[in-house]
Amino acid sequence: MDYNLPPKPPSEFAELVDGVEDIITPEVEKEEAFFAQVSCTVCGGPVSKVLHPVTPFKTGAILPNFVGKCQECGATSDPHTGLVLSHSVI
Ligand SMILES: [Zn+2]
C-alpha cells in the first residue's frame, strides 16, 4: 500500500457520505446537553468533557468515552455514576 498518496480534497469525502444517515450528530447533541447540566461530584463546579483516562473508547459506542473534569478543583469524574476518577488533594 502506498502511504505517500496526496490528501483528498474535502469534497471527495462529502460525496462518500452523501445520502448516508447521520447517526453521530444527534448523539453529540444529546451528550452536549447532558454535560451542560452536569456539575463536579467533589465541589459542584462546572465540568468540561475530557476523554476517559483509561478507557477512551468503548466497544460498540458511537462517541468517545468522555468524563467530566472540573473547571474549579480539577477533579475528574464519571458524570453517569458520579464516581471520582482522579482528584489531587492539596
Ligand atoms: Zn470540582
What pLDDT digit, counting tens, does each position of 78-87 carry?
998 999 998 8
- Residues composing the chain: 90
Instruction: Evaluate if residue 2 carries a pLDDT over 80.
Output: no
Give pLDDT, residue 1: 63
Determine the distance separating the centroid of ligand 1 and the alpha carbon of 31, expressed in angstroms. Answer: 20
Written as one letter, the residue type at 51 is: L
Q: Which of 79, 3, 89 is closest to 44 using CA atoms? A: 79
As a whole-number percent, the residues of the chain with pLDDT over 70 amount to 96
- Centre of ligand 1 to C-alpha 72, Å, is 5
Cβ 70 vs Cβ 35: under 8 Å: no
Write down the pLDDT at residue 90.
53
Give the environment of ion ligand 1: residues with CB less than 5 A: 40, 42-43, 45, 70, 72-73, 75
For the chain, the average pLDDT equals 90
